[in-house]
Structure 1
Amino acid sequence: MAVGIVEQLVEEATRADASVAGMLRKLKVIAARTKAGALGEWVDHELSGYPVGTAVPPYRGPFDLQVLGSLSGPFGTGFENAPIPSIPFPEKYHDSLFRHTFREPVAELEGLAANGGNLRIAWPADAIAMAQHLSSKGSVRINPTLVLNAAYKAVSPSMLAGILDAIRSRILDLALTFEVVAPSVGEEGDKVVSSGQVTNIFHTQMFGTSSNVAIGSTNVHQTADVSVRGDESTLLKSMRAAGATDTELAELSTALRVDRDENGGVTPAEPGPEVSRWWSRWSLKAASAAGQIGTGLASGVAAQAINAYFGLA
């Protein structure tokens, strides 16, 4: 008997030598066949990379990295691979010079990790020139007698392996959940599981939240200011209070309209594909914000607001 996609994922995710990119492609099949947009969007980003400006899961950074540099001075003096401390540099430069967020596709990360050597992320020429300029002004004193010629952020193979392991663990969590509630999900012709159910499972495993009645943590004292199903203006007001920006609110309004149009002009019984995708992006931004807009009380209020809008609260 043929082995199903879910069984394959469980088996591969528990093997250290299995390709993470290969597992993601199997999840892409599940996302496409169930029309689970949020899952598909995450898989696409992992396979193709996260464009600049797109929220990145916390397991991809930003990470503080050691910076090493090439220094030279008079009479042939100098050092190679000398540690460059971040403290002398103004804080506004720390993110670009001493931290890194890994936006690369999974296959690229796997290739870099397989090489076994340390990865070097070179400072651009402008950064070297800026450091030299700041040094000449006395703003930054790396070494009073030496000049910084080159610098790079050092990335160990173990850091790359940690990112890949985080993705592998999420895939395994998804597969194990599917194994219990929908072992045939993604198989050709399978209609047992809806896109909403798959999206819920995805959100639960990725963010500890899901996109319908179980969305977010609602065990908070503050409640969302939504009491009428389909009350969009109050929903947007509640989402603004939870930290959503004007741009995000406009995108949510568009998502609500598209899902409503797809449902014959009537508010669907649960979040549709577009709203689920919006929630996925917003949740990812919240998780990346490390304790800001989408965590704790704010995420509970946001979850309650969306649940109430769909009549699920």
Structure 2
Amino acid sequence: MKDSPVLKLQDMASSSSTNIEELLLRAKIISVKLGLSDIAEWLEHELTGYPNDVELPEYRIIRDAKVMGFNPQRGWIPCSLFNLMEADKRAYDAVTTINFNNPVSMIAEFAKSDKTLYCDLPEPCADFLREITSCNFRMSWPIVPSLMTKILSHVRGKVVDWALLLESKGIYGEGLLFSPEEKKEAQSVTYNTINNHGNGMTVLGDVNNDHSVVGGTVSNVQQQNITGDFSALERQLKEHGIDDADINELKDVIDQTPKPETKEEVEKGFGAWIGKMTIKALEGAIKIAGAAAPALLTNAICHHYGIPV
């Protein structure tokens, strides 16, 4: 038992001095050797970041986040969203929910900061708020380091829970080896608490720079090969919950717009339609997260024209 990797993992996870990446790498080795693919997948997402088509664990989602506007004369001031909360709860939730799919190493760096980080809302969210609040300031979410520390604590706690569960099953190992009996017993151990909610928003930027940005990323979302085939694009849009009227409107724009050659030309030529769909996404009327809608729809149209994204 002195060389048990499971007991060693418990000891590492319970110590705040243990590097979080080292802890997760050790846990990943154990999970792979035991053949626990679901746990290994969770650990891999924590280490490398969550793809946009993977739902985030609840502990990586910040709800009811404050929104601040930057007044050049007064500095950061709160943006009142009470009327929005009363009028449209879904839109309110869209602009006050922050999802962190960053690698755990980046979360750890944020946690070391000694100041509040101001992360800009995605432009569709900011434009939506400017329109309804008549506030033309830069819109940001204030992120305090303690929120990042809380995420790290959840990760450590889940590793501890898993390691304790292995011990309760009599699974200890020796060195980094496990007996056939231990591997068989381990198959009864699953990790069902990591697939919750999320829209794939990512915090980007230097943690020492208060201009860090929170924005939707969809680069890992698999796009269908729809080059030049509107029927394929139409099927994809319907899968996202976009209705026939809006799809027909897009087709009219495609028919009337000169063929774009770059992503920038797509954004310019189809910006009005994409903006309209983004508002619907913010309101929950289509099956796309509001923050991710602009990039996802832009990429879909680019694929239609065979434009690299």
Normalising by structure 1, we get a TM-score of 0.54
For the residue of structure 2 that corresponds to 1:200, the secondary structure is coil
* Length, aligned pairs only: 191
Q: Does 1:88 align with 2:83?
A: yes
For the residue of structure 2 that corresponds to 1:153, the secondary structure is strand
- Superposed CA deviations along residues 241-285 of structure 1, whole A, max 9, x for unmatched, are xxxxxx9xxxxxxxxxxxxxxxxxxxxxxxxxxxxxxxxxxxxxx
**Structure 1 contact 38–199 (Cα < 8 Å) conserved:** no
Gap runs ≥5 in structure 1 = 73-77, 135-139, 208-246, 248-313
Could you tell me how far apart the structure 2 residues matched to 1:28 and 1:67 are?
37
User: Could you tell me how far 1:182 is from its partner in structure 2?
Assistant: 0.7
Kindly report the root-mean-square deviation, in angstroms, between the aligned alpha carbons of the 2 structures: 2.7
Could you tell me how far apart the structure 2 residues matched to 1:185 and 1:174 are?
18
Q: Does 1:188 align with 2:169?
A: no
Could you tell me how far apart the structure 1 residues matched to 2:48 and 2:175 are?
21
Structure 1 equivalent of residue 151 of structure 2: 163
For the residue of structure 2 that corresponds to 1:203, the secondary structure is coil
Gap runs ≥5 in structure 2 = 195-238, 240-309
**Structure 2 contact 48–103 (Cα < 8 Å) conserved:** yes
**Structure 1 contact 69–84 (Cα < 8 Å) conserved:** yes
**Structure 2 contact 121–140 (Cα < 8 Å) conserved:** yes
Normalising by structure 2, we get a TM-score of 0.55
Residue type of the alignment partner of 1:190: S
Q: Quick one: percent identity of the two aligned structures?
A: 20
**Structure 1 contact 34–186 (Cα < 8 Å) conserved:** no
User: Could you tell me how far 1:185 is from its partner in structure 2?
Assistant: 7.0
Structure 1 residues 19 and 199, CA gap change in structure 2 (3 angstroms): farther
- Superposed CA deviations along residues 88-136 of structure 1, whole A, max 9, x for unmatched, are 334343344211112111111111101232222212344333333x2xx
Could you tell me how far apart the structure 1 residues matched to 2:60 and 2:187 are?
22
Structure 1 residues 141 and 115, CA gap change in structure 2 (3 angstroms): closer
Residue type of the alignment partner of 2:186: V
Residue type of the alignment partner of 2:19: S
Q: 1:141 aligns with which of 125, 133, 143?
A: 133
User: Could you tell me how far 1:153 is from its partner in structure 2?
Assistant: 0.6
Q: Does 1:12 align with 2:1?
A: no
Superposed counterparts of 1:51-200, under 5 Å: 51-71=51-71, 78-89=73-84, 90-132=88-130, 134=131, 140-141=132-133, 147-180=135-168, 181-184=170-173, 187-188=176-177, 190-194=179-183, 197-200=185-188
